[in-house]
Amino acid sequence: MNQSNLASASNVKKRNLVLGLIGTAGTVNGFLTACFYSRQNVVNIIEICFALIAICLIYFWIYYDAKARSFRNPKLIRYLIIFIGIIGVPIYFWRTRSWKNFCLNLGGLWLFMVYSLIYYGVFLVTALVLTKLGYYS
């Protein structure tokens, strides 16, 4: 393997690791939110912290994806990803994928969906278990 392929493979591994961390963050967020559901101030702090963590992880996923694709991400797209991710992520996917892959990847919004679906799944299961145990009564 040449040096370029090794670097690309390394970036793909890092990208996949970050995707796992996105799922882990969603899991921890859902669990903590369910545990502290009756304490709204604590839940607000948890939500803000994990929103910041999630956007950082999504940024790093895109960073490693761009390196694996040898794509130089312009500053504007980087700032949009950080400050208005719902716009910046689809722009990045538009620039780095074909029309077909862009559509199949849902414009990159699947990154947000992975986090959200895991969060809500863990939250609901944890809340159900805690309700059955009498935690909320």
Q: SS3 of 132, please?
A: helix
d(CA 101, CA 94): 9
pLDDT digits (tens, 9 = 90+) for 54-72: 999 999 999 999 999 989 9
Q: What is the pLDDT of residue 41?
A: 95
Total-model pTM = 0.88
Of 62, 93, 97, 69, nearest to 8 by C-alpha is: 69
d(CA 114, CA 111): 5
What does pLDDT average to over the chain?
A: 91
Angle CA(64)–CA(69)–CA(75) in degrees, nearest 5?
A: 65
Sequential DSSP letters for 62-106: HHHHHHHTT----HHHHHHHHHSHHHHHHHHHHHHS-HHHHHHTG
Residue 133 has pLDDT above 70, yes or no: yes
Q: What is the pLDDT of residue 137?
A: 66
